[in-house]
Amino acid sequence: MNELKLRSNHPESIKEMIEIDLAKRLQSLETGLELTQTRLKHFEAQYQWSTENFVNLFTNDQLQHSLEFDEWLGESWMLEKLQQKIAIIKEIEFVD
């Protein structure tokens, strides 16, 4: 695990600001994740496919492009990106 060091004349203030900003960012990402999961569930219920199955069919050119399918694919990509960003923030540990 790598460390990031910051220097400041007010280290406790900086640490507190960063912790607050990270908490806000995490909350925003988690809200986005919930919205994305809701949208994915809607598509899955509508088409009776799991998102994983849909992505496999779509990326193997077994489905024709449509606006809804493009949106579904975009939401599946968004899910991955949001999960990655959330994991990165949750890994952060403040050390003295």
CA angle, 64 then 67 then 69, to 5°: 55
Q: Is the pTM of this model over 0.85?
A: yes
- Domain residue extents for the chain: 17-91
Contacts of 92 (CB under 8 A, 6+ apart): 22
- Model pLDDT for residues 44-96, shown as the tens digit of each residue: 999 999 999 999 999 999 999 999 999 999 999 999 999 999 999 999 998 87
